Amino acid sequence: MRIKRSLQTLAGVLAAASVGLSLAPAHAADHANEQLYPLFSYRTGPYAPAGIPQWGGIRDYFNYINSHGGIDGVKVLVQECETAYTLERAFECYERYKHGYQGAQVAALFDTSSGFDATISDEARADKLPVVSVAGGREDAVDGAVFPYQFPVLFDYWTESSIVINYIAKQLGGLDKLKGQKIATVYHDSGYGRDTIEPLAILAKKYGFIDIEIPVPDPGEQQQAQWQQIKQQGVNWVFLRAWGVMTPVAIKTAARVGFPSDHIIGDIWSGSEEDVKPAGSAAIGYKAVTVFPSGSNFAISQTLKKEIIDPGKSDLRDTSKFGSVYYNAGLVSAIIYSEVIHTGHEKFGNRPLTPAEGQWALEHLNITPERVAALGATGLLSPLKLTPEDHEGEPSAKIQQWDGHHWNVLTGWLNGDRALFHDAIFAKAAAYAKQKNLPPRPTLTN
């Protein structure tokens, strides 16, 4: 009896497993006329609240594009793969979709976590698959000569540091007023968080402010000691580089020790509704850098509302997320992706692109202010121009402030002092090339 039952269990397990796995790398060419967008999502785990609205933005935009025939007639096939924000699940997703899915090809992979971006660097180089990190990714990858397949587009944390320092200077009445100011950076103790240590040291040297670096261990649910230290040292401004639950705890703890919320300026990943709402009234006045301004008044948002949200076709279960910072972040990713494919179509014809064509398209992407306007994304997306040498474009961001209900944008697009860091970043890229023994990239042709 027992043996029979265990046999049945075993047979069941094996059958389910083999059915599942045998269908995994399917070769049917059902989707040969579509372009694959592998979406490495995280709808579970501690970072799901930051993820879900992004996937909503991405899916809704493609849904809208597809309902109008696709990008120049090529439909986008979104295949979602749950990673739970872990590296190895993302890695398996990469292996599963790097050669496409049922005939649909990948032209460029838009990744969804900076940890994965760093992990996949060598693999993507070997597979010749362009990997795009929107407002994230490794700094030195802007150097297209060393990193032909990586595209940290739109924004970087070095420029962010400079934007924040410039903004503080403006509040004080000039860059010369920075001298002697105590500016503390409270950062998530990870590769992402530590990224600004170096640029802030450079900036501190240039402007004479006192640079205080305070790490918070992951996940950051207890920050009493750190903020007490800030209060004790008489810090004037705080640059908050948090992620996930660390942001609301930081804002609340700041209020507890009596640090003014409007003297805290958050990172782009500490500036969403999900970050400030849990902090309640303590967050009123809190500021943050953003490259994905919130709001639903952009022309494209209005179109989406009419065609996707209102008819109930949205991916969002909770449509109040429409127009939130993370939803708009997803929207920005999807718009950039569509423009990349469109750029490729102009050169190679209106058909699904290969990874090599995707790389070409990325390196010749030019979203001019006029094009941004035509897309209905004025104010949402900053103009973006990439070249084979520059894989980032001109980074720019806005400063926004939370009023207890909404984010209010305080500034226009701000450009940091990117030139100041140019040499340091390109030296890093060169050092990487040397360490890895990379041959110089063949002469870039158009």
Partner 1 sequence: MLFLVNIIVAGLLAGLMYALVAIGFVLIYKASGVFNFAQGAMVLLSALTFVTLNEHGLPFWLCFIITVGVLIVASVLIEFLVLRPLVNRSPDTLFMATLGLSFVIEGLAQLVLGTDVHQLDLGIPDVPLKLYGLQVSDFDLFTAAVSILLVAVLALLFGKTRVGISLRAVADNTLAAQSIGIRLPHIWRIVWSVAGVVALIAGLLWGNRQGVQFSLSLVVLKAMPVLIIGGFSSIPGAIVGGLIVGATENLADIYIGPLVHGAVSDWFAYILATAFLLIRPNGLFGEKPIQRV
Partner 2 sequence: MSASKLAGTAHLGGTVSQAPRLSGRRVAILVALILIYGVIPIVGNDYWLNSLIIPTIVMGLAGLGLNLLMGYAGLISLGSAAFMATGAFATFNLLLRLPILPLPVVLILAGLIAGLGGLIFGLPSLRIRGFYLSAPTLAAQFFLTWLFQTYHWFSNNSMSLVISAPRLEFFGYDLSSSRGRYLLVALTAGLLLLLAFAIIKSRIGRDWMAIRDMEVAASVTGVPIARRKLQAYVVSSFFLGVAGALWAFAYLGTADSNTFSLDKSFQVLFIVLIGGSASLLGNFVGAAFIVLTPIVLDILVPVLGLDTYIDQGSIANIEPIIFGALIIFLLIKEPDGLASLFSRTIRALSIWPLRR
Contact residues: partner 1, CB under 8 A: 43-46, 48-49, 52, 189, 215-219, 221-222, 224-226, 228-229, 232, 244-245, 248-249, 252, 255-258, 274, 277-280, 282, 317-318
> CA distances (Å), 412 to each of 40, 175, 408, in order?
32, 19, 12
Out of 7, 225, 373, 427, the residue judged to bind partner 2 by CB under 8 A = 7
The closest alpha carbon to 85, from 321, 269, 313, belongs to: 269
On whether the CB atoms of residues 381 and 137 are closer than 8 A, the answer is: no
Of the candidate residues 36, 50, 52, 238, the single one contacting partner 2 (CB under 8 A):
52
- From the list partner 2, partner 1, none, partner contacted by residue 95 (C-beta under 5 to 8 A by kind): partner 2
We find the least distance from the C-beta atom of residue 391 to partner 1, in angstroms, to be: 31
For partner 1, give the closer residue by CB, 48 or 299.
Answer: 48
DSSP helix/strand/coil, 398: strand
- For 291, which DSSP code? S
CB of 101 to partner 2, least distance (A): 10
How near is the Cβ of 113 to partner 1 at its closest, in Å?
16
CA dist., res. 144 & res. 28, Å (int): 35
Question: The tokens of 400 are what?
Answer: 């926004």
Phi/psi at 340 (nearest 5 deg)?
Answer: -60, -50
Pick 121 or 338: Cβ nearer partner 2: 121
- 92, interface contact from partner 2, partner 1, none, CB < 5-8 Å by kind: partner 2
Cis geometry, peptide bond prior to residue 152 (ω within 30 degrees of 0) = no
Smaller CB separation from partner 2, 55 or 209: 55
Distance of CA 32 to the CA centre of its chain: 29
User: Shortest gap between Cβ of 238 and partner 2 (angstroms)?
Assistant: 22
Task: Choose the contact partner of 225 out of partner 1, partner 2, none; CB within 5 to 8 A by kind.
Answer: partner 1
Residue that the structure tokens 């590296």 belong to: 87
Asked if 20 is part of the footprint of partner 2 (rule: CB under 8 A), the reply reads yes
Q: Which does 219 bind (CB under 5 to 8 A by kind): partner 1, partner 2, none?
A: partner 1
Q: Which DSSP letter does residue 212 get?
A: E
Q: Out of partner 2, partner 1, none, which partner does residue 315 contact, by CB within 5 to 8 A per kind?
A: partner 2
Residue 129 corresponds to which tokens in the numbers above? 């698959």
DSSP string, 219-258: S----HHHHHHHHHTT-SEEEEE--TTHHHHHHHHHHHHT
Of the candidate spans 10-18, 170-178, 220-228, 330-338, the one that interacts with partner 2 by CB under 8 A turns out to be 10-18
Instruction: Return the C-alpha torsion angle 379, 385, 390, 392, nearest 10.
Output: 30
Site for partner 2 in 292-331 (CB under 8 A): 315, 317
A 10 A CB-CB count for 145 gives: 16
Nearest distance from C-beta of residue 138 to partner 2, angstroms? 6
What is the dihedral sign for C-alpha 389, 429, 153, 95?
positive
For the CB of residue 347, give the shortest distance to partner 2 in the complex, in Å. 30
Minimum CB separation from partner 2 for residue 314, in Å?
A: 10
The interface partner of residue 20, options being partner 1, partner 2, none and the CB cut-off 5 to 8 Å by kind, is: partner 2
Q: Can residue 66 be called a binding residue for partner 2 (CB under 8 A)?
A: no
Footprint of partner 2 on residues 160-189 (CB under 8 A)? 189
Span from 118-126, 162-170, 224-232, 414-422 in contact with partner 2 (CB under 8 A): 118-126
419 touches which of partner 2, partner 1, none (CB within 5 to 8 A by kind)? none
Work out what residue 211 binds among partner 1, partner 2, none; the CB cut-off runs from 5 to 8 Å by kind. Answer: none
Q: How far apart are CA 226 and CA 232, in angstroms?
A: 10
Alpha-carbon distance of 446 to 360, in angstroms, equals: 8
Among residues 62, 300, 65, 91, the alpha carbon closest in space to that of 79 is found at: 62
DSSP string, 56-123: HHHHHHHHHHHHTTSBTTBEEEEEEEE-TT-HHHHHHHHHHHTT-BTTBEES-EE---HHHHHHHHHH
Dihedral sign, Cα of residue 204, residue 210, residue 216, residue 220: negative
Max CA distance (Å), the chain: 85
Give how many residues touch partner 2 by CB under 8 A: 54
Q: How far is the CB of 13 from partner 1 (least distance, A)?
A: 16
Rounded Cα distance, 139 and 312, in Å: 40
Least gap, CB of 43 to partner 1 (angstroms): 7
Structure tokens at 394: 């001109």
- Binding-residue pattern over the window 77 to 116 for partner 2, x denoting contact by CB under 8 A: ---xxx-x-xxxx-xx--xx-----------------xx-
- Tell me the closest approach of the beta carbon of residue 241 to partner 1, in angstroms: 14
Contact residues for partner 2 (CB under 8 A)? 2-4, 6-7, 9-10, 16-17, 19-21, 23-25, 41-44, 48, 52, 55, 80-82, 84, 86-89, 91-92, 95-96, 114-115, 118-119, 121-123, 138-140, 189-191, 194-195, 217, 315, 317, 428, 435
